[in-house]
Amino acid sequence: AVLSWKRQWAWLGAVVRKPRVLLGFLVSALLLSGNWVLYVWAVNSDRIVDASLGYFMSPLVSVLLGYVILKEKLRPLQWLAVFMALGAVLWLTWINGALPWIGLTIAATFGIYGLLRKIAHLGALEGLALETILLAPLVLTILAVTVLNGDNGFLQASPTSQILLVLSGPVTAIPLLMFARAARRIPLSLLGLLQYISPTMQLLTGVFIYDEPFDGARLTGFVVIWVALAVYSV
């Protein structure tokens, strides 16, 4: 609807004739959808704190990708902040006593997604629209199968839940548009560390609203990450 209102559909015809661009956006769409499905599963499985760990690690992936692939330079204090955050993530991994597969998967998928959107040849709105178009056949097929099997939770939900689920669409899309635009305007390393804001909010939600366990050892790791962000900001 927004693209039609702005009369910005001309790009689609040009993109269809570029298989490499289509493939790149298909990969980014699959990364994003996989990341979001895992995040929603974690939230519904009382693993919000574990999901927040993934988004705390994601900026480190962005910083690493920015340095290795895009040849972005970091100042000494910025390196200090990165190593502090990395140490905190390793500490959190160690005290969990097991491989944090939720966090690692979320971090890897979203970090690579950010890189692909930064080097993409389309703007934020057009890119998100193309990702949605490419995913639509797969999603519609899955929905059709769940309806035929009687497993579609949306149809069985209350009207209030249905409305909230529909509203989660724009609540998801608007931040993604802003993220894609930011990825093209600022260094990937800076974008990565700014992403600490979101997992901090997730962590606070999990601990104070949904009463998920958060002991002193975990708190230590998160405090170090917050200090690292302050050092980077300075």
Tens digit of pLDDT for each residue in 80-89? 988 888 888 7
103 membership: H or E segment, kind and range = helix 101-118
Q: Which residues of 20-52 are buried (b: 16+ CB within 10 A; e: fewer)?
A: ebeebbeebbbbbbbbeebbeebeeeebbbbbb
Weakly modelled stretches of the chain, pLDDT under 70:
192
Residue 129's CB is within 10 A of a number of other CB atoms, namely: 21
Q: Which two tokens stand for residue 12?
A: 């689609």
Q: What is the pLDDT of residue 100?
A: 81
Dihedral, 191, 195, 196, 202 alpha carbons, nearest 10: 180
Q: Which two tokens stand for residue 121?
A: 């040849």
Tens digit of pLDDT for each residue in 140-176? 999 999 999 988 888 889 999 999 999 998 898 888 8
Q: What is the pLDDT of residue 158?
A: 94
Residue 220's CB is within 10 A of a number of other CB atoms, namely: 13
Q: What is the pLDDT of residue 60?
A: 77
d(CA 95, CA 221): 10
Q: What is the pLDDT of residue 139?
A: 92
Q: What is the pLDDT of residue 93?
A: 80
